[in-house]
Structure 1
């Protein structure tokens, strides 16, 4: 019967399969033991707190014994919170200005390609997305040369991954262009001493400014005046005592 004819063939195939492991080279086991894995052993924090940044990773070959060899440092992109909020900027009219929504180092790294879209809310400092209108600029930076008063407003930049359209960063630039007739105004000089300390993050008791230096000078002068008065009174008292003693001695001699 046909089933009986296939019996010897099946038996031969089974014997061949059973003999395959024995045919493997004897050196296979040392080859497997010599394999090494390349793993990340250390990594720096992301260079930014929002959007795309750069981090450095240290990669090493890890042997079965746990030894690290042939280590190298690799720079790669990292992603934090994609919303970066509002950044306030002020520039005198006529001066050049550049807004950048992605650092050149981050954009130049190999990997995914990004697309940039800008929107503009003229004359407003806001983060209300309903007030923005498209602003044609496909590059990661926006330059004003020179900046004009009409450029004042809020610029919004979105960074997306071109392959997936994933939004990886959104930042707002609130720009104030100061007119020429107000350029000479010094904002710092218009602040009170307490406001200047608050702006610089210093405490009133630890700072030394014009008002405090003047107060210190008055304190020195007051101390010096008190010292001179005390010295004059003391000198007068001593002279008076000496004169009294001299007169007493003179009177006593005359009586004799």
Structure 2
């Protein structure tokens, strides 16, 4: 039978002791865990046990999140999570900072972001984003009573021109790749059209890069010139 440590045999325990606890639900920011409390007698017997939910905090820093968007699209970023929402967002202070134009985790490079939304302080809304809005945004969540930092998240925003890159992933896929993607998403294609050998070669030739195209074209032209040259030699030999 388990007993209390030496020196505590004559101590009377009136409160609940933490016997066990589950891991925290989050690795960063505020989370929840279940704690098991019991009254322990001098002989080590546990009784009147209760299970309670408690707030836990493993790390304040939640790392870096990257986001890529194009000029003219709306940007909405938030650092509100379910734990803070359950406890009440009014009990916390949300401080936004920005490091313009770069992706960084160096806290010394951040300055206060003045254009934040006072109605929903945990969110940044930009209706028409521009390249000047690119950079790393930091959201720092603090307890309104103690001003203790309970969460810090970094969101790197890259802004690119609309005509700079094609972001339509489906458009660049071949028909076979589109069918495979639909199958993976749970929408199998019932009828698959059989393509001829030359159609497959044509698609392969289109998808190849410029160097490969030039190489294949050169080999084909060289082969034809070689055949013509051999035919000319045969004709000349017969005339002799």
TM-score where L is the length of structure 1: 0.48
Query: Which residue of 1 is the match for residue 161 of structure 2?
Result: 179
Q: Distance in 2 between matches of 1:57 and 1:115?
A: 26
After TM superposition, list the pairs within 5 Å mapping 1:1-256 onto structure 2: 37-50=15-28, 52-62=29-39, 64=41, 66-69=45-48, 71-74=50-53, 76-109=54-87, 113-136=91-114, 137=116, 139-182=121-164, 184-185=166-167
Deviation string 1:189-237 (CA, Å, 9 cap, x unpaired) is 99xxxxxxxxxxxxxxxxxxxxxxxxxxxxxxxxxxxxxxxxxxxxxxx
User: Could you list the runs of 4 or more consecutive aligned residues of structure 1 that deviate by over 6 angstroms after TM superposition?
Assistant: 187-190
May I ask how many residue pairs the two structures share in their alignment? Answer: 155
Query: Which structure is richer in relative contact order (CA contacts within 8 A, separation 6 or more)?
Result: 2
What runs of 5+ residues in structure 2 fail to find an aligned partner? Answer: 1-11, 173-240
Q: 1:93 to 1:105 in 2, by over 3 A?
A: farther
* RMSD value, Cα: 3.6
Structure showing greater Rg:
1
TM-score where L is the length of structure 2: 0.50
1:103 CA drift (Å): 1.1
